[in-house]
Chain A
């Protein structure tokens, strides 16, 4: 596999290059509220990211993602047929998604321009989504249960760096609030259900990162946009702005790796939205559960490379560009604490279900046989705020690679 995919290392003179990554994992669940949950294997994602440099100023970027090893489904909404109903075609589980399809104009380091289908840089995972960038087999749950990961929308972006400060500012298409839910807040508002994306209301995204060096960064990101106007049918007459702020950072020096995120989001008119969503058609395949007026999540994870105790040089990132050096092995043991509540607050007469307030301790080992290849294992103890049957323990094994 590495041989066939090694086009990523083609010399710089070639304007065409490909990179990407892949993740596969197995999980065994011991969940009190869902005792019948089956152990599962997920070919979670395989990403192919071709790039083409047209000239010194213009390049094309793309990212094609196969999720859960499969094809996918789309929905059609035709208001002139079938009483304006939704039609769905499902071929098989999984998805093929164009995550990125953009043109980049590089003018100066401080001023660049990107247009097309782009990554929304909110949170830590948006920037650090390859399997080497997080310890667990799946992405950090406090983040992945509150906002879409990876989050990709269509729009324009200005970005650049001013000394140690990197910035990004975007105007992109917004979310659709029919997909919001108790369990995942705005995650399913990411418009993936329909063939086309409703673009009645834009969203504004910003990010600032202070880069101490390649392995140590702290930053701030935010999102603001209306989600009522982008619903499949014009069935609400109020606004539903979503605002999100995240504070994040990572430090990965020598044997120590520490990463963390704090994320807070609010939703306007969450009670009215919950009410309208309750009567959505079954065919829309929306959750229709009440929605929190705010969501809160944070996590911190820390790992230590045991092999460093045996005198090996283990700062793996030093070798990223040196393909012929022997594999730089790392054996990280790690712990993480996640806390997240997708109904951190509710407004109006909405029940704040305690099962959506979750806290988890996760412990595990990551064995990097090479900077581009990692085997992972973890055991996670999640606790719901509900009084009874509130344990969700998960054991997971997996591996990931990048090229």
Chain B
């Protein structure tokens, strides 16, 4: 089998060389193109390490972190339920903010089980409206974990927990929290934990092992017939979140001047959320894509890294809270939109085409 693989690789290499030389002969008049083509097709890029680092080193570890943080959040909520003190409320809030970090970073790869098992909307649907959440509290239903599991996506997950823990960016008074709110909080946090565990298990080698579907792209993966397909999926994942941050999360409330459209509107955690989305892009890029891009086009690599950093800084430069800045600091918000759009554009116009036109093992 290995002999066959080797032969196959040699044949592929020879074929690529042949193709490359054909290009050199065919397009002899344009020297720049020649150089490029020679570069692109001369040798296939072995993405095995990149894909393995991405799947094991980044995705699985991010989801494991998320699941652990969700466990800590659940513990904090349980503590709050048994002793509804101001200190316990604050701890639960901190745990919520901590859990948001790996989740928001994971949004740079919203494909695979998080998508096919419908986990993204179950965990993080927004915008949520208070009326919808209040209806649940006003009902006579018993707020068990099973009951919360059956609710619409906009009535459970991160932002329902947020609604119950925070008010106007600040903690609530612990004494204001009703028994029903505590029940809803506990059940929806337990439901969140079930979802994060499901997500972690879907990627884990001991579970459904989606890690291997990515890592073994092109060599027996049932999902990705080639390494190129897997790398394209990864780049498209980055494009999706850049687009969502620039044109959805920031632009929609900004264009409509509507604070109810702001993600994380109860905790005022929006700026951190958006930054972590872009850090997610940074994390993905740093797991081997950077090596691939710099090997092909060092200038592009340097430019993209700088653009990603600039986007994180531009979002950070929006005065907190974001919900006020959509009307009060429109210049800063526009600058952040532009910076994230630049990241999206480079991904779409330079990096994705580079991946598509390159040969992988």
Name A's B-contacting residues (CB within 8 A): 33, 35-36, 82-83, 85, 182, 271, 274-275, 278-283, 288-290, 348-355, 386-390
Contact = CB atoms under 8 A, between A and B. Distances in A.
Interface of B: 115-118, 120-122, 129-132, 134-136, 138-139, 141-142, 144, 146-147, 149-153, 155, 222-223, 256, 258, 261
Given A349-B141, A389-B131, 4 more contacts: A83-B222, A282-B118, A353-B135, A354-B135
A363 B141 CA distance: 37
B218 to A, nearest CB: 15
A349 B136 CA distance: 13
A366 to B, nearest CB: 34
B216 to A, nearest CB: 13
B139 A279 contact: no
B115 A386 contact: no
Contacts of B129: 33, 389
Contacts of A290: 150-152
B109 to A, nearest CB: 14
A282 B116 contact: yes
Contacts of B134: 387-388
A352 B141 CA distance: 9
B258 A349 contact: no
A271 B132 contact: no
Given A36-B258, A282-B115, A288-B153, A349 B131 contact: no
A267 to B, nearest CB: 15
Contact of B131 (A271, A278, A289, A388): A388
Contact of A278 (B118, B132, B147, B256): B118
B150 A349 contact: yes
Contacts of A351: 136, 139, 141, 147, 150-152, 155
Nearest to B145: A349
Contact of B120 (A278, A282, A289): A282
Contact of A288 (B118, B130, B135, B149): B118
A136 to B, nearest CB: 26
A28 B138 CA distance: 31
A279 B118 contact: yes
Contacts of A275: 149-150
Contacts of A283: 115-116
Nearest to B229: A82
Given A274-B150, A275-B150, A290-B151, A355 B117 contact: no
A282 B151 contact: no
A353 B118 contact: no
Interface of B is mostly: helix
Contacts of B138: 387
B195 to A, nearest CB: 10
A387 B146 CA distance: 24
Contacts of A388: 130-131, 134
A386 B118 contact: no
Contacts, number: 80
A362 B120 CA distance: 39
Contacts of B147: 349, 351
Nearest to B258: A36
17 contacts: A33-B131, A274-B150, A275-B150, A278-B150, A279-B117, A281-B116, A288-B118, A288-B121, A289-B152, A349-B141, A349-B146, A352-B139, A353-B152, A354-B139, A355-B132, A355-B135, A389-B131
From B130, B132, B142, residue with most partner A Cβ within 10 Å: B132
A15 B209 CA distance: 64
Contacts of A182: 152
A85 B136 CA distance: 34
B219 to A, nearest CB: 16
A365 to B, nearest CB: 33
B217 to A, nearest CB: 12
* Pairs of residues from A and B, 7 with the lowest C-beta to C-beta distance, nearest first: A281-B116, A349-B147, A389-B131, A83-B223, A282-B115, A289-B152, A388-B131
A2 to B, nearest CB: 43
Contacts of A282: 115-116, 118, 120-121
Contacts of A354: 135, 139
A278 B191 CA distance: 13
A182 B121 CA distance: 16
Nearest to B222: A83
B116 A386 contact: no
A281 B131 contact: no
A353 B131 CA distance: 11
B358 to A, nearest CB: 22
Nearest to B261: A36
Nearest to B153: A288
A294 B261 CA distance: 33
A169 B222 CA distance: 47
B150 A280 contact: no
Contacts of A350: 150
A278 B135 contact: no
A33 B115 CA distance: 28
Contacts of A353: 132, 135, 152
Nearest to B140: A352
Contacts of A280: 118
B196 to A, nearest CB: 15
Contacts of A274: 150
Contacts of B149: 275, 278
Contacts of A390: 131
Contacts of A281: 115-118
A290 B149 CA distance: 10
B31 to A, nearest CB: 40
B52 to A, nearest CB: 20
Contacts of B132: 353, 355, 386
Contacts of A33: 129, 131
B150 A355 contact: no
Contacts of A35: 258
A61 to B, nearest CB: 41
Contacts of A83: 222-223
A211 B151 CA distance: 45
Contacts of B146: 349
A219 to B, nearest CB: 36
B71 to A, nearest CB: 22
A388 B261 CA distance: 18
Contacts of B122: 278
A187 B141 CA distance: 27
